[in-house]
Amino acid sequence: MVETQLRRRGIRSERVLEVMGEVPRERFLPPESRSRAYADQALPLALGQTVSQPYMVAAMTEALELTLTDRVLEVGTGSGYQTCILSRLAAEVYSVERLEPLARSAELLLKELGCTNVHLRVGDGSLGWPEAAPFDAILVTAAAPDVPPSLKAQLSPHGGRLVIPVGDRFVQDLLKLTRHGDEFRQRRLMACRFVPLVGEEGWEGDGP
């Protein structure tokens, strides 16, 4: 997976490649998907959600440009797979999941795998985690109609990075915003397709 799906497609960060090689992706999947854990595709989770394709996880993580002193907010814990990767590349990870059963099973697994720097919360991550802000990096793993103002406000003004899929419910652009003071520089990284960000500053419901 690391060589053929990630390095060959342009993932350059040795630290991201190393961590992607270490984290046992199969542990985060339901039993029926485990044999495909390292396949080049997104896989189904419970409650109609998905765990993203390994390349997408690596590309988003690389775009965050994490250092070991960074405090990170993740919106959309899902299985906890991406959370586990972030936890090995940053100082503290704050992760919010809307669906309680997913959050609970991610919590157990992350504990088992020794991710002691992860803080989980069930709730609407489109509003961020204001008490823990500012964040050096924010990753949204569900698709928003626009960049949520609350997340922009919780990004560190000293070079904070926000990576988020923005578009309609079927296809989106993966955007990277970098904040310097009150200025946000925005770059499009690639086309993508994510499940909807459902919440006050996202979509109203799961359906089309």
* Nearer to ligand SAM (CB atom), residue 47 or residue 157: 47
In the numeric block, which tokens belong to residue 138?
């924010």
- The span from the CA of 36 to the CA of 112, in Å, is 22
> Which of 73-81, 86-94, 108-116, 153-161 is the region at the interface with ligand SAM (rule: CB under 6 A)?
73-81
- The span from the CA of 181 to the CA of 174, in Å, is 23
Q: Is 52 a catalytic residue?
A: yes
- The span from the CA of 127 to the CA of 138, in Å, is 12
- The span from the CA of 40 to the CA of 57, in Å, is 11
178 forms part of the interface with ligand SAM (CB under 6 A): no
Surface-to-core class of residue 184, CB atoms within 10 Å of its CB (0-12 exposed, 13-18 middle, 19+ buried):
middle
Q: Binding string to ligand SAM for residues 103 to 122, with x set by CB under 6 A, is what?
A: --------------------
Residue of the chain from 54, 125, 160, 167 that contacts ligand SAM (CB under 6 A): 125
Q: Which residues bind ligand SAM (CB under 6 A)?
A: 49-52, 75-76, 78-79, 81-82, 96-99, 102, 124-126, 141-142, 194-195, 197-199, 202
Q: Which residues are catalytic?
A: 52
